[in-house]
Each structure stands twice: as C-alpha cells, then as structure tokens.
Amino acid sequence: MTRPSTDQSETSLQRLDLVQPLLLDSARRTEQALRKYMGDLAQVPPQLLEAMQYSLFAGGKRVRPALVFACGSLFDAPEVDMLPAAAAMECVHTFSLIHDDLPAMDDDDLRRGVPTNHKVFGEAMAILAGDALLSLAFQILTERVGEAMVAAAMVRELATATGPVGMIGGQVADILGETEEPTPAKVRYIHERKTAALLAASCRLGGLSGRTGQDDIRAVGEYGYHLGLAFQLADDALDATATAEQLGKRTGKDTRAGKQTMVRLAGVEATLQAADDHVQRALGAVDRYGEAAAPLKALAEFVVRRSC
C-alpha cells in the first residue's frame, strides 16, 4: 500500500484521534433513541422484542448513525431530526445482518463474537425479527408527520437504498456471483449496492435532517458513496488477512464461498490501494466544508486504517 507523506500522516493521525469519541458519542445517542423507540412498542410478543434487541444492541460501531450526525451537523440539523434518521439506519443495517447470516444465505454462526440471531432464536424468529426491524425503520422516520417533507424524502432515500435497486439487489448479485468468475464490473456492482448505497443514504439523511439544498445533499452523498466503496474494499482485504479472533467472526470465508471480491481479482495490496483512492475521493467531495468536515474526514480514514 502506498504510504502518504509524513505531513499527511500526522494530519491523518490527528484525525483518527477524533474518531473514537465521535463513534462513542454517536453510539450513545443512537442507543438511547433506539431504546425509546423499542419501549414505545406496546403489546409486541416479548420473544420478538428480545430477538430484535439482541441484534440491535450487539455492540455495532454505529458507523451509519455517526455519518447521519456528522453530515447533519454540517448544516446545523436539530437533534430531533437526526435521531430518527440515525435509529432508522441502524434498524435497516441490523435487519440486513440478521438476514445475511441465515442458513439459506451466508450461514454464519458468529457475529461480533456472539452467536448469530438464528442460532439463538431459531430461523423463523430471525427472519421475522429482520422483517420487523425493516418495517420499524420506516415507522420511526415518520414519527413526526408534521415535518412531512423531510420524512417523505428520508423514507424515499432509505427505501431506495435498501430495496431491489439498492442493498437487497446487491445481496442477490453477491449470492449469484459465487458461481461466476469475478470481474471488476461485477465486484463494483455488488460493492455499490451492498455497502455504498446505505452509507450514502446515511449521509443524505443527515443532509435532509439539516434541510439543506440538493447541492449539499449530493456532496455528502458522494462522500458516503466513496466511503462505502472504501469500507467494502478494506473489509474484503481484512477477511483475507485477519484472524477470526481479531474480527469476532469467521475469516477467509469470501474466498471459500467463491465471492466476487477485488482481493481475488487483484490481491490484497491493490485492494487496499483502491480503498485508499476512494477515501481520497470521499475527502475531496466534502473539501468545500473546510474544518467543519473534520469529523467526516476522520471517519473516512478510520474506515480503511482499522484494517492496517
């Protein structure tokens, strides 16, 4: 991997110092909001609530909420509008993890070092807990119907990024790709939809909560898109190089499953280089915001550096 010059390195390290408090703060705000929303669910079968909460509070890094908060803060978004967006993003993300881990999909027993949802609650409940979290995301986004313009726009962003043209389409391509030779186009298609769509949506929801214009929404969306591609590339490299202990889940499984990854196409070094290139493009997209974009820049660098 090409090393940046010393000056850049120092800036990068200073930026990385920003990330830990930023993620902790985002996790705290998001989890508080999620607990409130879960508490509002009256008369839900307790077993369903338990299955939903098991995965929702399994110690994720809350990167998507952090993007909502960081992008929203660029435009002085009120907390009351960022919280539902952050919580909804995490509901959709958790839904996708639960369904991805199912025996019919990736068949994973372990996630973040603990048994996957279906290993604890059974397959039927895991499918339904995922379905429930996906629905709940849209319910949460429309809690404040008085702010209908913002709510409707957020629903549209999230539904599009999640659905057949977004993450779910990417997951289908990912599964189908297991029986095909990897090509750069297929890898890009999967990465764009499976990962970048939802990270870009997190940023755009942040922008929407700040009621900013289309230009700004586009800029933070582009940042999130490149961040997402960098994230997925770094993740693929990590799967090929880290130990199961480091990751809290099985590693090397992409290669075993015959997944479409850039590592298989071009090796670990080239994959990390490509990730770095996307980080640079992410930084470029928000350069216009100067110092205000420091948290976004720190997050982008964190995404690839965690794998070094």
Residue numbers at the binding site for its own copies (CB under 8 A): 41-45, 47-49, 52, 95, 99, 102, 104-105, 122-125, 127-128, 130-132, 134-139, 141-143, 145, 148-149, 151-153, 155-156, 158-160, 162-166, 168-169, 171-173, 175-176, 189
Beta bridge partners of 110: 115
- Give the shortest CB-269-to-its own copies separation in angstroms: 30
Question: Given the complex with its own copies, which of 94 and 271 has the nearer CB atom?
Answer: 94
Bridge partners of 115? 110
Residue 266 token pair: 């071009």
Residue 10 vs 131, nearer CB to its own copies? 131
Query: Is the Cβ–Cβ distance between 122 and 128 less than 8 Å?
Result: no
Q: Provide the strand spans (E) within the chain.
A: 110-111, 114-115
CB of 53 to its own copies, least distance (A): 11
Closer to its own copies at the Cβ: 124 or 308? 124
Q: How far is the CB of 162 from its own copies (least distance, A)?
A: 4
Q: Which residue, 97 or 238, is less far from its own copies as judged by CB?
A: 97
Q: Which helix (H) or strand (E) holds 64?
A: helix 63-74
Q: How far is the CB of 244 from its own copies (least distance, A)?
A: 24
In angstroms, what is the C-alpha Rg of the chain? 19
Cα–Cα distance measured from residue 8 to residue 121, given in angstroms and rounded to the nearest whole number? 48
Q: How far is the CB of 51 from its own copies (least distance, A)?
A: 9
**How many other CB atoms are there within 10 angstroms of residue 159's CB atom?**
17
Cβ proximity to its own copies, 45 vs 252, nearer residue: 45
Closest to its own copies by CB, 1 or 38: 38
Pair 150, 211: CB distance under 8 Å:
yes
DSSP 86-155: HHHHHHHHHHHHHHHTSTTTT--SEETTEE-HHHHH-HHHHHHHHHHHHHHHHHHHTS-GGGHHHHHHHH
Min dist. Cβ of residue 134 to its own copies (A): 6
